[in-house]
Structure 1
Amino acid sequence: MEILNHIKNSANKYPNKVALKFKEESITYNELVKRFDELGANLSKWLNNFDYPIGLYIPNHPDFIVGYYSLVKAGKVTHLVDAKWGRAELSNLIENVHLGGFLVRTEDVYMFPLLDQVEKQFTNNGLTLLILEPAILSNELNVERLNGVISCRYSSGTTGTPKCMMYEEKNVLAAARNWSESINLSHEDIVYCAAYLTHGLAFNTSILAPLKVGATIVLHSDVTPRHVINTIKKENPTVFVAFPVLYDLLTRVNGDYYFPQLRICVSSGTVLHESIKRKFHSKFSIVISDLYGVAETGLSILNQSDDYQSVGFPLKNVSVKILDENGDEIPQGSLGEVSIFTESRSKAYYNFPQLLEKQLSNNYYRTGDIGYLNQEGKLYIKGRKTDVVDVAGKKVDPHEVENVLRELNGVTDVVAFGAKVSEKDSQILAVALITDGSVTRKDVVNHVKKTLVSYKIPQIVKFVDSIPRNNNGKVLRRELQSQVSKEYQNGGV
């Protein structure tokens, strides 16, 4: 495959150069190719006549990258699965997006949430393939729909089921090309990735793009601010990739720092408030570069300027239009729906046929965000049309949280939503509940904690007598958001 050939070309040019670093561990380009060639060959044998996709269930570690390219070499559709997800979330994937197994680190097998439902295990060089029992495999697998697909990532669904975004090789290649050409990435770069590799920010900026040009990737082992600063001092990265919450924390570290080799700091995943950007620039003498994009299109817009109101200009090979409700392009300066054309866009949702396609207007993906382009072609975002909550760069589907809480004894009605509670305009997850009076905040937190990953635990729990709805029964989330935000700021929640 072309993807693997790009990495092998880098190995031919820089055979003994470090490709991946993690703590004190280093893997050269030659070693990387050897590892994914060997494991890929074994996976081909182990998965012969097994059509189900495989979930890559590995935390940020070189093994994630080795495992991904091994599955690509084996010709298997690879799902990028958050390694913090638990039993309920993995079972949901098996049922709704039809996973048939998982690739995990051998040392982590004992912690795998569904170990009791594994039929076979195969191990090679520190990685273990877990094949699930036939009884729990879905009989609705659509092999034809996966034709040409090499990997899948997830976007929040509307019913607690994640939308499975399918990517062909050309989409993954385009994402790497768009990014590397836009920032002139080269073999001299060192990319320090402090974001999760399953997230589009990391996957599109910090895996294929640097490997394609022969750069070095440094993966995080600890994202506490002091450790991050020490890693920057030690590794001398030229590119730093992180979620907004980490930039916020870095501004609070005592002292001022100067990292002359660091040419770009990239943030994406949620809104990074202007005040944080200014504090960061004052402390580190670096302007944070915002990357904008929705999950379906991948990263599309880059702001490398100190115009903190804008999200910037389109990346190389990306085109942006502002459309009205009829799908017609409107003049510069006019507010409309931000729509993006890029070859990095997901092919479709596996488990929601035609849903993504309905968002297309002449091959431009309608993002659901409202904004405008100025005369220079710079994009400004003014609002969102979705209910999905951004929690420190993680997308949380409020309906999933609601479904879990409805199973808690004593809860009669519930709504989950994002509340803006600080100067940074960041969101935290809140829930409003109607109960029989027997439920406490601790009960709510513990119930969610048993079922979902930690960032889906509500930080605000509000007990109410009624939940505001319109005449059609739709929850008036904005009314709740406004009420809870004011109460929180006044210390009343």
Structure 2
Amino acid sequence: MTVLDQVLTEHFARHRDAALVADTRGVLTGAELAGAAGRFAAEAAAWWNGTGATRRDGRVRVLVSAANSAAYVAAYAGILDAGAVPFLIDPALGGDEFSSVVESCGIDVVLHDRDLPATARPGARTELGGFRLTEVAGGPRPQLLAGTEVCRFTSGTSGTPNCIEFSGTAVRNAAVAWKEATALEPADRVLCFAGLFNGLAYNTSLLASILAGACLWLPSGLPSAGHVTRFLRELAPTRLVGFPALYEALLRKEGEVPELAGVRVALSSAAPLSEQTAQDLLRRHGLAVSNYYGIAEAGPLTFDPAPTPEGGLGLPLPGVRFRLDDGEIKVRSESMGSRYLNVPGAFERKVGADGFYATADEGFFDDQGSLHLRGRVGKALNIAGRKLDGEEIRRVVLDAGCADAVVFADRKNNGDPVLVAVVAGAGAPDERALRSWCHARLAAHKVPERFVRVEAIPRTSLGKLRMAAVQELFHEAIATSPAR
């Protein structure tokens, strides 16, 4: 029995009569989760034994590509119970990214609730636990570490997502630290709009809630203001978990949202929640949001039990140690991943001999010990020997009426660097107007030489920029535009 299988078995029994996981289709108690997981494990193992998937190296690799649901949690527990390894991935991944993950990680089976991308090469299929199981032909099979029990992925903002191997001990440590630091209790009702594949939900809501005996609610659908308000009204949650888009949607709703009064802890992560948004939420709704700090490779790292809009990202969680090297945040945690399965050596290069992981984030700690971020290491743009702040230029471009924008350095055909901006939004001015606007507000050397307008800036489902896709759109646009 693995660490996580043992932990789940123990706590399903401990909270056998408590409602642990729920969605719009029903509620599962600890006893019901244990039963559903056991049935899934037995039937899944019988099926993939028949397909031959277990003959590769004994541990079947199951790529879980599905939306949040109580059945997802039961299947996750069942995969672990069957001795297989779940690989939790964003179900919104594009076909090329999906196929790259299957190939580079040696995936055997996909558990999914929607059609597979056209790029998949499906084999045998069955249905189980409300999902489809499909055998796939993975590529060369990199060896998993002996202690690996779960794999999760980076957001893939600059290409194929990196597959992070986690030991069961690391996952358990993250959940225990979060439960203790945030005082998660059996009486808590956690309303989680973040995908369980993402650290925001995985580390703060899944195992932590089961350990505490709290009820985890997993609604489906986009977190529009009306959708969120309806669940707030019906469930009266004590904790709300979501990305900044959820909180921004609440601000777009006219009038008060009295249902927020019972929320004791509101969590946001991934893309930054702006200070202005945090101030408006506190002023209009009395909602203080903890914009905590966590990274995929090292787990949850900070928490602020009494957040303020300008108060930073909170204090270190138990078992977390920080160090600043010339402003760069380095961290060591008891919930750290082991390595990248599909990118040999890349993870190890980020970890020093002392075990501290280099995050590439810049930051500082205030007098109260709360962490604040400044930006990313090495993200200054260098154009003709001048270092520019791309975020400063982006803010000016956005103020011109663009809904979204990215500013970055590219190369001309002759190899010279060029400052460019890709903008989106129905209200975005044309190139001439944008250039004039920027000239009136920035030094001449800070004005982008090229502006390209697109329908939408490519982002992940978490709101993170997909830089490789942005650059591709830019190159396509200039290739088809009239010569200048």
Name the TM-score, length of structure 2 as normaliser: 0.76
Matched ranges for 1:35-434 at <5 A: 35-47=36-48, 48-51=54-57, 53-105=61-113, 108=114, 111-114=115-118, 117-132=121-136, 136-138=137-139, 140-143=140-143, 145-156=144-155, 160-222=159-221, 223-258=223-258, 259-303=260-304, 304-306=306-308, 308-324=310-326, 336-361=327-352, 362-385=354-377, 419-420=394-395, 422=398, 428=405
> In 2, distance between residues paired with 1:207 and 1:94?
25
> In 1, distance between residues paired with 2:456 and 2:329?
38
Q: CA deviation at 1:459?
A: 12
Question: Contact 1:243–1:268 at 8 Å: present in 2 too?
Answer: yes
The one-letter amino acid paired with 1:379 is L
> In 1, distance between residues paired with 2:56 and 2:36?
22
Structure 2 partner of 1:2: 3
Q: How many percent identity over aligned positions? A: 25
CA 1:166 to 1:463, structure 2 compared with 1: closer, same or farther past 3 Å?
closer
> In 1, distance between residues paired with 2:81 and 2:247?
36
Structure 1 partner of 2:449: none
Runs of 4 or more above 4 Å deviation:
156-159, 418-423, 425-435, 441-449, 452-467
Name the TM-score, length of structure 1 as normaliser: 0.75
CA deviation string 1:91-130 (max 9, x = no partner): 111222222220123xx3xx22259722211333323321
> In 2, distance between residues paired with 1:55 and 1:27?
24
CA 1:49 to 1:370, structure 2 compared with 1: closer, same or farther past 3 Å?
same
CA 1:172 to 1:428, structure 2 compared with 1: closer, same or farther past 3 Å?
farther
> In 2, distance between residues paired with 1:160 and 1:298?
21
Counterpart secondary structure, 2:346: coil
CA deviation string 1:182-210 (max 9, x = no partner): 11111111100011111110111111000
CA 1:2 to 1:98, structure 2 compared with 1: closer, same or farther past 3 Å?
closer
> In 1, distance between residues paired with 2:163 and 2:376?
22
Question: Contact 1:10–1:29 at 8 Å: present in 2 too?
Answer: yes
CA 1:446 to 1:45, structure 2 compared with 1: closer, same or farther past 3 Å?
farther
Question: Contact 1:429–1:460 at 8 Å: present in 2 too?
Answer: no
Q: CA deviation at 1:453?
A: 7.8
Question: Contact 2:61–2:106 at 8 Å: present in 1 too?
Answer: yes
Q: How many residues align?
A: 411
> In 1, distance between residues paired with 2:404 and 2:219?
25
The one-letter amino acid paired with 2:310 is Y
Structure 2 partner of 1:407: none
> In 2, distance between residues paired with 1:68 and 1:314?
29
> In 1, distance between residues paired with 2:105 and 2:367?
43
- Aligned-CA RMSD value: 3.5
In the alignment, structure 2 segments of 5+ residues that lack a partner are: 49-53, 380-392, 414-423, 426-451, 480-484
CA 1:255 to 1:159, structure 2 compared with 1: closer, same or farther past 3 Å?
closer
Structure 2 partner of 1:327: none
> In 2, distance between residues paired with 1:428 and 1:65?
37
